[in-house]
Amino acid sequence: MSSRSEGDNLILVGFMGVGKSTVGRELERLGGLCLIDLDSVIVQFAGHSIPEIFATEGEERFRDYEAAALRSLVGVRRTVIATGGGIIGREENWKVMHQLGPIVYLRAAWVTLRKRLVGSQGRPLADAGLELRQVEELWRRRLPLYEQADISVDTDDLNATEVAMAILQKIGRREGKINA
């Protein structure tokens, strides 16, 4: 078991468009876990949609909501937490995520993400108005942070079910408890 991971939840991290929510639903189905989408918790906290929060309060305030939403989950059990792509930006979030359980990075090549993000809506940092080159730069800057996760799965050639199965296998091998 990773020395820093304490809980029996699974935390999914990765860039926008990699499929964290879809894989989360597959983990819910296949792994008998509950599912929480952190972006939905943020929307409940703030009482506004994510684009509205970015537009009216700005990104830093969004990050405050995001950190608070994550902290509010401490104590949940056997739950997959699908995070937003920027959760890895604050050190405090890493501490909370490690407390919650193993952190799983869904890795994908830029060509894969690019296809999924073309015409994206509802994501202020990747919407059609922004040049994809800027989004790619953001992805590159974040890569070393994502790589700090406890385990990672290359998702380019896998569908969501296969990714979920790969995660359960890796977790089962490493921790011997999620699959128990």
Residues 6+ apart with CB under 8 A from 118: 128, 132
List the one residue from 45, 64, 78, 124 that touches ligand S3P (CB under 6 A).
124
Residue 125 binds to ligand S3P (criterion: CB under 6 A): yes
Q: In angstroms, what is the minimal distance from the CB of 144 to ligand S3P?
A: 15
Helix (H) or strand (E) holding 172: helix 160-175
List the one residue from 24, 31, 84, 101 that touches ligand S3P (CB under 6 A).
84
| Half-sphere exposure (Cβ direction) of 106: Cα atoms closer than 13 Å | 35
List the one residue from 26, 39, 150, 175 that touches ligand S3P (CB under 6 A).
39
Overall residue count recorded for the chain in this entry: 180
Candidates 67-75, 80-88, 146-154, 160-168 — which segment interacts with ligand S3P by CB under 6 A?
80-88
Q: Residue 18 carries which side chain, given as an amino acid letter?
A: V
Question: Which is closer to ligand S3P, CB of 20 or CB of 107?
Answer: 20
**DSSP SS3 for 68:** helix
**Which pair of structure tokens corresponds to residue 17?**
């468009």
**DSSP SS3 for 103:** strand
List the one residue from 26, 35, 106, 123 that touches ligand S3P (CB under 6 A).
123
The contact set with ligand S3P (CB under 6 A) reads: 16, 20, 39, 50, 84-86, 123-125
